[in-house]
Amino acid sequence: MEDSVSTVKVELEFELSAAACDDQVEDLERAGDDLEASNDFKYPWLPAESPGSYRIVGPERPVELLTKAACGELGRLCGRLSPVNKLMVPSAERAAGGIPQRAVSMCFVHPLAGAQEMLAKADLSMAKDSWAWIALFGGFAFFDASATLVGTRAIAVGPTGPSCRGGGFSLSGPFEASAEALEALRAQGRMHPVTLAELRDVGLDSVGWVFAKELQATTLLALR
């Protein structure tokens, strides 16, 4: 039987920035006039609709384990984020997906580069340490109207254990993507290297997140 792919709730604290992720991630500016709004939500970093970066800064256990596995290199606790987009999931369907009701926007959280090697050195259980799923496979970050992070969910494979329950949603595909769409994603800085050796071994090279508004009914990507 093939492993199932779903999402699980994780408790992580992020430092966010639009800057390239390095050892000194810039602090997020939240001054009123400096934040751009899109109808009913603000962007958690500027410029608006640009890819972002994150650093894992809490809780204590994941930071301690990852820092130790990374030999103190704080830059290895950093990853990339897709642009933020309006959350399209209806309120009535959010509980089943484990999505916070007050969330109005979301982005994709790309996995940490080198996470597979780092986590192999850590003493953890994927059922107990559900945050490790987001380091390995990535996931989703949800924001309220003031651009505050209100929830994260990680992509998980196979049984996830009782500590990871609390709603979830599954993924489908693969779907064909046009060459023009892939080129647009690359030009926008939204394609990033695949981090898992098992996926690279079967020929997967890079990954990017696409929003519903960027899809045509035919499932071909319609990015310009």
Q: How far apart are CA 98 and CA 77, in angstroms?
A: 25
pLDDT computed for residue 169 by the predictor: 61
Mean pLDDT calculated for residue range 170-188: 77
pLDDT band at 168 (very low <50, low <70, confident <90, very high): low
CA torsion 197-199-203-209 (nearest 10°) is -120
Q: Is the pLDDT confidence value at 95 over 80?
A: yes
pLDDT-wise least confident of 130-134, 140-144, 219-223: 219-223
Residue 50, Ramachandran bin (φ over 0: left; ψ between -120 and 50: alpha; else beta): beta
Summarised one tens digit per residue, pLDDT across range 11-45 is: 999 999 985 544 333 333 333 333 344 456 788 88
Q: How far apart are CA 223 and CA 44, in angstroms?
A: 23
Q: How far apart are CA 174 and CA 221, in angstroms?
A: 12
Listed residue (57, 37, 45) closest to 20, CA to CA? 45
Stated pTM of the model:
0.78
